Amino acid sequence: MSHPTPQPGQRPADRRDRAPAPADRYDEGRVRASDAEREAVVERLRVASVEGRLTFEELTERTEAAYAAVTRAELEDVTRDLPALGAPGAERAPRQVLRRFTAILGDCEERLSGRIDEDLEALSVMGDVVLDLRAAQVPSGEVTINATAFLGDVRIIVPDGVRVALSGHAVLGDRRVLTREPGPGHRLPVVRVHAQAILGDVTVVDDEHAGGPVRRVVDSWRERRRTRD
């Protein structure tokens, strides 16, 4: 096969002078994320929570998104609006001063938004106690609640994807966890509930079972992030 003869003043075409084809370009964002990179992002989220930048719900949601990420670009989306490590911390939420919630022949419903540093207590005697933890700040990533229901109900609302550890006893009552099962082996935020149910119920529910807004799954969260960017 013949090749064109270079004209005077021209040099032969060199393959190295050509711009790389799109398929030849290296796209860092499309590289698959490693387990170590996912764990590094989860640790960064934990630090952001300690600094007061994320609520308990946001921490849980983004931790789940980090473990579900396939590529490095998806991991970057999880922390895109967070400052680099070592940046000055945000103002922390006020400490959650009220830690004991009681309903005797009545109702007590609380949506916590303060910083939870200590154990919480819920007591229901012929009444109903509802504690919503989704808007709280939990620097440690772990909440412990001692719940007692005597001829009444205690209902605890937690973020989607959180890990729930339920212990205690039930006497002619019930202790239930109605949450989506998190992925095995993931270092997720934890809610520990020590329940005593005597002729009453202690129930832990997430968004899907709480009867509130439809739970925000990981894909919809990512889509909202892309829309804003």
Q: Give the pLDDT score at 29.
A: 61
Q: E strands along the chain, which residues?
A: 100-104, 107-111, 120-125, 128-132, 142-150, 153-157, 163-171, 174-178, 190-198, 201-205
Domain edges within the chain: 21-90+216-228, 100-210
Alpha carbons 170 and 106: distance in angstroms, whole number: 22
Question: In 10 A of CB 87, how many CB atoms?
Answer: 11
| Per-residue model confidence (pLDDT) at position 24 | 45
Give the integer Cα–Cα distance in Å for 185 and 163: 11
> pLDDT value at position 212?
52
Residue-level pLDDT at 144: 96
pTM of the entire structure? Answer: 0.72
CB 188 within 8 A of CB 155: no
**Residue-level pLDDT at 228:** 57
Residues of the chain with pLDDT under 70: 1-29, 85-91, 183-185, 211-229
